[in-house]
Each structure stands twice: as structure tokens, then as C-alpha cells.
Amino acid sequence: QKEVEQDPGPLSVPEGAIVSLNCTYSNSAFQYFMWYRQYSRKGPELLMYTYSSGNKEDGRFTAQVDKSSKYISLFIRDSQPSDSATYLCAMKKTGGSNYKLTFGKGTLLTVNP
């Protein structure tokens, strides 16, 4: 079993829809939870991150972490065609190995105009 599991999709939604992306993880040592967006043939870029449990909102994006369930989510409101990309969840520990990111497979999202 991989440390981080993510449904690869693909996910196709109409413009304006609410999108829900999710990851589960098995290692309770993860403390930072991140969402990266990767456009085709580009490197990943950090969208937002959460430390430990809770919610964080940034514009149309909301990240949620439920450490008791080892489950994280990213919600995109009023989705736009420009949101079409692969969304990767990533996690890292604190302390000695706080430099290494562990990624999910990524979910390919297409927002149709």
C-alpha cells in the first residue's frame, strides 16, 4: 500500500461546478498537507497548504484536513476552464525528514466551457 492514495480520475465537470478532490494517507507522521497544480508538460506549482488539521480557504479554493480519518480534500468553487490541470496532493513530516514531499498520483481535471 502506498503512503498516499489519490484517485487519478479523470474528472470532467461543466464550468461553474463545485469540484471535490481527495486523498487518503497511512502515515500519521505527516503534518503538512499540500495541493499542487500541474499543467500539461509543466512542473507542479503549490496551490495551498495546511498544517495539521483544519480548513483553509483561498479565493475559490478550500483545503480540508481530517487527521483522525487520514483524509484530505480540496474543493474548487465556480470552476473555470483554466482550472483544467492535474491536481496532486503532497504531504511531508516535520523534524528530521521535513524536506521530502510524498505525492499522490494526481487527479486529472477537465472543466468544460
For residues 85 and 39, the answer to whether their CB atoms sit within 8 Å is: yes
Dist CA 110 CA 11 (whole Å): 6
Q: Does 93 bind other proteins (CB under 8 A)?
A: no
**Tell me, what DSSP letter sits at residue 82?**
G
Least distance in angstroms from the C-beta of 78 to other proteins: 26
Least distance in angstroms from the C-beta of 105 to other proteins: 5
* Local structure of 22: helix, strand or coil: strand
Q: Among the candidate windows 53-61, 66-74, 75-83, 93-101, which touches other proteins by CB under 8 A?
A: 93-101
Give the Cβ contact number of residue 66 at 10 Å.
13
The binding track of 38-77 with respect to other proteins, each residue x by CB under 8 A or -, is: ---xxxxxx--x-x--------------------------
Q: Identify the residue whose cell numbers are 479565493.
A: 59
Q: Does 106 bind other proteins (CB under 8 A)?
A: yes
For residues 61 and 47, the answer to whether their CB atoms sit within 8 Å is: yes
Q: Which CB, 14 or 41, lies closer to other proteins?
A: 41
Amino acid (one-letter) located at 99: Y
Residues lying near other proteins in the complex (CB under 8 A): 4, 6, 8, 32, 34, 41-46, 49, 51, 88, 90, 97-106
